[in-house]
């Protein structure tokens, strides 16, 4: 292969066009093309227009697309470590969220490597909360709600809250509310902005934590086929995407909540009673996770708890 030959890749993501995650990905694509002087170009497909969340990992693994971005915890049924940063209240701050991501990185990357996938970047989502059309002050206020969830952990959490979980893609949320398939959801303020939640919801109660990461992954065989300098440029762009994405996530945690307020949603933090009740649920979810993750999981949690003291 000529050192100046052009390689054209396809990339897919389910995030909407104006989402901060997509803006970060577009900058990543631009940097790759710039730093490789056009020797590697990437055609980006957003908003699940090419692959759904459920198809994304397999699509990159098999080479249907060479590169993709997906929510890691969406694949928790494949491996418990994929949902480690989605355990409620295991990490309550940005510092703890980044610590749990760092401590679990080797476990996650090794598991993905077995499936011909290499992580280029990891970007967390902002804190999570409940959307509803009635005030949420205690767990009893959640009982019986038809709650949109987005991964196995939030599915199980909704069940423990005695809500009825409904797993649908973000793009389907407005229609699901309009047809009364759901009347509440667990997600971030950013996702509420993406779905124009003010059209169907009156309240957003931020309970923090659960900063699930999205990852940019590349087909390892495709990565290894690149010229060394092109491969190095791609990896460096991935590192910058992680750093830039983190800064954007922190900004959006505040900016998205403000946008919800502008849309007419009442935005509040969870009450002390609700937080106390949710932490009891979170502890149960943690113990269930440790059972699924086995000795490696228990060891990692012990190490994390020592580091965060």
Determine whether domain 128-209+260-307 maps to CATH 3.30.1370.10: no
DSSP string, 159-218: HHTT-EEEE--GGGHHHHHHTTS-SEEEEEHHHHHHTTGGGT-SEEEE-----PEEEEEE
| pLDDT score of 171 | 84
Mean pLDDT of 201-228: 96
Q: How far apart are CA 74 and CA 213, in angstroms?
A: 10
Residue carrying structure tokens 């389910």: 14
Statement: residue 168 has pLDDT above 80? yes
Q: Please tell me which residue, 258 or 3, carries the higher pLDDT value.
A: 258
**pTM confidence score:** 0.91
Dump pLDDT digits (tens) for 270-299. 999 999 999 999 999 999 999 999 999 999
Give residue 18's pLDDT: 86
How many angstroms separate the CA atoms of 238 and 228, rounded? 15
- Give yes or no for residue 127 having a pLDDT over 90: yes
> Based on the number of CB atoms within 10 Å of its own CB, is 254 exposed (0-12), middle (13-18) or buried (19 or more)?
exposed
Per-residue pLDDT reduced to its tens digit, 17-73: 889 999 999 999 999 999 999 999 999 999 999 999 999 999 999 999 999 999 999
Q: Helices 94-113 and 272-307 meet at what angle, rounded to 10? A: 60
- Hey, what are 270's tokens? 């969870």
Q: 152-160 vs 272-307: helix axis angle to the nearest 10?
A: 140
> In Å, how far from its chain's centre is CA 132?
21
């Amino acid at each position: 292969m000529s050192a100046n030959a052009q390689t054209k890749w396809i990339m897919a993501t389910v995030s909407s066009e104006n989402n901060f995650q997509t803006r970060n990905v577009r900058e990543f694509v631009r940097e790759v093309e710039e730093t490789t002087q056009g020797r590697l170009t990437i055609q980006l497909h957003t908003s699940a227009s090419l692959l759904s969340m459920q198809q994304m990992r397999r699509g990159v693994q098999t080479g249907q697309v060479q590169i993709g971005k997906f929510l890691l915890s969406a694949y928790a049924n494949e491996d418990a470590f994929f949902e480690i940063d989605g355990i409620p209240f295991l990490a309550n701050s940005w510092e703890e969220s980044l610590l749990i991501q760092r401590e679990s990185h080797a476990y996650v990357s090794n598991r993905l490597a077995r499936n011909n996938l290499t992580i280029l970047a990891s970007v967390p989502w902002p804190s999570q909360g409940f959307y509803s059309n009635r005030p949420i002050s205690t767990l009893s206020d959640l009982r019986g709600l038809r709650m949109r969830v987005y991964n196995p952990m939030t599915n199980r959490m909704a069940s423990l809250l005695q809500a009825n979980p409904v797993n649908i893609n973000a793009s389907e949320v407005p229609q699901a509310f309009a047809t009364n398939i759901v009347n509440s959801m667990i997600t971030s303020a950013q996702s509420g902005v993406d779905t124009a939640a003010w059209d169907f919801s009156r309240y957003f109660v931020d309970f923090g934590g659960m900063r699930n990461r999205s990852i940019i992954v590349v087909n390892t065989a495709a990565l290894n086929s690149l010229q060394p300098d092109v491969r190095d440029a791609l990896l460096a762009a991935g590192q910058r995407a992680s750093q830039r994405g983190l800064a954007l996530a922190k900004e959006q945690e505040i900016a998205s909540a403000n946008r919800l307020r502008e849309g007419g949603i009442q935005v509040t933090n969870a009450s002390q009673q609700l937080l106390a009740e949710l932490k009891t649920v979170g502890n149960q979810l943690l113990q269930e996770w440790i059972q699924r993750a086995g000795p490696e999981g228990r060891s990692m949690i012990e190490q994390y708890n020592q580091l965060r003291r």
